[in-house]
């Protein structure tokens, strides 16, 4: 079937009171940017956004189902704003469809239309019974015919497609996410996008240790994550020189924590350069030795930027569920060696002492090393 429009619904934006308009404009801006060339425009109507489109329904569907801020959407046919036109489209929409029971669910956004929702439900319901000899069922009907009466047209649709939910990504809310090749950090980055942040990705790479497939994997992860926001920057930061110095100077029990501290310091600099406000990591409390209660405290304190850990209270199983849903699971499952795992002790420190860790850090010219790493970073934009 050929459709005229897509009706986009949001839920949380609807709760924003006076700020609702700015959220709606942001969502429209994001939809227009992600569907450039595929749609003919968006119109803001009461409680919904109507997307006009004329081609490539599958592509449009795929893109819309990844845009944060959209709760669900439906492909619709439009009818002129009079009862007979609406009736005709309702009957046409159901032509050839197999179902036993149905219900009509009308919403009158445009209060100037003379029939109210209840009247539309019962009158259109009677027409469908007459035309197709089907039963009305209020609960668990096979088909729900949605009729949305808006300002210019009425829209008739049958199925809702689930969206990401959350809030539209906002370039004024930038964060920098540390992206490893594992399962966790892509999910952490996605969750921040879902809550309305523009996420800049940073990956640390030791070219002497890692095979070239690691970089390929990171590019694939960034590509997948880029579906959920308008603009994606990925910094690939060389880590070999720094890592070599850390291996020389720091006891193997503490190395992981020092690696991570340097990563966070470099990421803070990336944040400063991009006017980003927070750092984001894929830590989950007590998942591994570097993420014990005590080690997280010494890792996060005294940085130029605050660290957010959106997975902190999630179990691995829950993280994997999200990874599967957002399409990063298969990419993360590809074999790789993260540079974080080189030259570590079999039994790393579980409760590092903040004083000892800072003493270790004082053996480095931190500012110079951070500056150096930033200079050599490679930037990819999607
Ligand atoms: P993940 O799936 O995120 O790799 P993990 O359980 O393997 O999780 P760690 O290796 O301890 O966790 O890393 C914790 C966090 O540190 C990661 O989620 C990520 O945010 C960051 N991190 C680790 N290694 C790198 C890297 N090479 N580049 C960028 N960030 C990294
Ligand atoms: Mg990891």
Could you give the number of structural domains in the chain?
Answer: 2
Distance CA 117, CA 120 (A): 5
Nearest CA to ligand 1 atom 24: 180
Task: Assess whether 102 and 205 both reside in one domain.
Answer: no
Q: What is the mean pLDDT of residues 69-88?
A: 97
Residues 230-252: pLDDT tens digits? 999 999 999 999 999 999 999 99
Task: Assess whether 60 and 158 both reside in one domain.
Answer: yes
Q: What is the mean pLDDT of residues 266-274?
A: 98
Residues 342-371: pLDDT tens digits? 677 888 999 999 999 999 999 999 999 999
Domain boundary among 111, 145, 162: 162
Distance CA 8, CA 28 (A): 10
Distance CA 265, CA 231 (A): 24
Task: Assess whether 155 and 211 both reside in one domain.
Answer: no
Nearest atom in ligand 1 to 256's CA: 11
Nearest atom in ligand 1 to 181's CA: 4
Domain boundary among 162, 196, 221: 162
The pair phi, psi for residue 319, each rounded to 5°, is: -65, -45
Task: Assess whether 147 and 239 both reside in one domain.
Answer: no
Q: What is the mean pLDDT of residues 332-336?
A: 88
Nearest atom in ligand 1 to 338's CA: 27
Task: Assess whether 370 and 303 both reside in one domain.
Answer: yes
Q: What is the mean pLDDT of residues 288-312?
A: 96
pLDDT score of 295: 97
Domain boundary among 116, 143, 162: 162
Positive or negative, the Cα torsion across 11, 325, 155, 28?
positive
Positive or negative, the Cα torsion across 31, 33, 39, 42?
positive
Task: Assess whether 83 and 228 both reside in one domain.
Answer: no
Hunting for tokens 């934009």 — which residue is that? 381
- The average confidence (pLDDT) of the chain is 94
Hunting for tokens 């930027």 — which residue is that? 305
Q: What is the mean pLDDT of residues 294-299?
A: 96
Band of residue 381 on the pLDDT scale cut at 50, 70, 90: very high
Task: Assess whether 171 and 157 both reside in one domain.
Answer: no
Task: Assess whether 179 and 124 both reside in one domain.
Answer: no
Task: Assess whether 241 and 314 both reside in one domain.
Answer: yes
Q: What is the mean pLDDT of residues 82-86?
A: 98
Domain that holds residue 364: 167-381
CA 219 to chain centre: 17
Closest among 81, 73, 87 to 3, alpha carbons compared: 73
Distance CA 101, CA 135 (A): 5
pLDDT score of 45: 83
pLDDT score of 15: 73
Specify the DSSP class assigned to residue 346: S
Task: Assess whether 187 and 153 both reside in one domain.
Answer: no
Closest among 54, 71, 63 to 5, alpha carbons compared: 54
Query: Which ligand sits closest to the CA of 282?
Result: 1
Cα Rg for the chain, rounded, in angstroms? 26
Query: Which ligand sits closest to the CA of 281?
Result: 1
Q: What is the mean pLDDT of residues 195-203?
A: 98
How many angstroms does the Cα of residue 204 sit away from the middle of ligand 1? 10
Q: Residues enclosing ligand 1, CB less than 6 A?
A: 178-180, 182-185, 203-204, 260, 263, 281-283, 287-288, 290, 338-340
Task: Assess whether 212 and 313 both reside in one domain.
Answer: yes
How many angstroms does the Cα of residue 283 sit away from the middle of ligand 1? 7
CATH (domain of 39): 3.30.2130.30
Kindly state the tokens that stand for 205: 């790479």
Band of residue 210 on the pLDDT scale cut at 50, 70, 90: low
Residues 15-45: pLDDT tens digits? 778 888 899 999 999 999 999 999 999 998 8
Hunting for tokens 């298969």 — which residue is that? 330
Kindly state the tokens that stand for 191: 């969750």
Q: Mutate which of 240, 340, 348 to test ligand 1's pocket (most atoms within 8 Å of Cβ)?
A: 340
Contact 137, 102 (CB under 8 A): yes
Task: Assess whether 270 and 330 both reside in one domain.
Answer: yes
Nearest atom in ligand 1 to 185's CA: 3
Instruction: Answer whether 0.85 is exceeded by the pTM.
Output: yes
């Amino acid at each position: 079937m050929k459709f005229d429009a897509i009706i986009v619904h949001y839920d949380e934006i609807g709760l924003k009171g006076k700020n609702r308009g700015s959220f709606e404009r942001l969502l429209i801006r994001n939809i227009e940017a992600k569907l450039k060339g595929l749609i003919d425009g968006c119109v803001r109507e009461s409680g919904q956004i109507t997307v006009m489109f004329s081609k490539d329904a599958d592509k449009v569907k795929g893109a819309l189902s990844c845009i944060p801020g959209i709760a669900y959407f439906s492909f619709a046919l439009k009818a002129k704003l009079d009862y007979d036109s609406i009736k005709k489209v309702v009957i046409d929409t159901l032509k050839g469809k197999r179902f036993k029971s149905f219900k009509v669910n009308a919403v009158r956004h445009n209060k100037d239309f003379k029939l109210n929702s209840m009247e539309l439900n019962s009158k259109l319901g009677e027409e469908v019974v007459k035309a197709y000899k089907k039963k009305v069922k209020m609960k668990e009907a096979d088909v729900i015919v949605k009729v949305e009466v808006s300002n210019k047209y009425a829209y008739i649709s049958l199925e809702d497609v689930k969206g990401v939910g959350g809030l539209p990504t906002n370039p004024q809310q930038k964060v920098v996410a540390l992206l490893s090749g594992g399962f966790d950090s892509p999910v952490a980055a996605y969750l921040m996008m879902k809550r309305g942040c523009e996420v800049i990705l940073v990956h640390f790479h030791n070219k002497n240790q890692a095979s070239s497939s690691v970089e390929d994997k990171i590019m694939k992860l960034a590509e997948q994550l880029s579906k959920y926001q308008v603009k994606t920057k990925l910094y690939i930061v060389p880590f070999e020189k720094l890592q070599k110095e850390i291996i020389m100077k720091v006891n193997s029990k503490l190395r992981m924590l020092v690696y991570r501290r340097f990563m966070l310091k470099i990421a803070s600099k990336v944040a400063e350069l991009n006017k980003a406000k927070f750092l984001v990591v894929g830590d989950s409390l007590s998942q591994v030795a570097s993420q014990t209660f005590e080690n997280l405290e010494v890792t996060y304190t005294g940085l130029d930027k605050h660290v957010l850990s959106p997975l902190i209270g999630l179990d691995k199983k829950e993280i994997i569920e999200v990874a599967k849903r957002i399409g990063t699971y298969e990419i993360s499952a590809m074999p790789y060696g993260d540079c974080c795992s080189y030259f570590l002790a079999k039994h790393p420190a579980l409760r590092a002492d903040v004083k000892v860790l800072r003493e270790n850090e004082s053996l480095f010219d931190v500012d110079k090393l951070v500056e150096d790493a930033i200079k050599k970073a490679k930037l990819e934009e999607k």
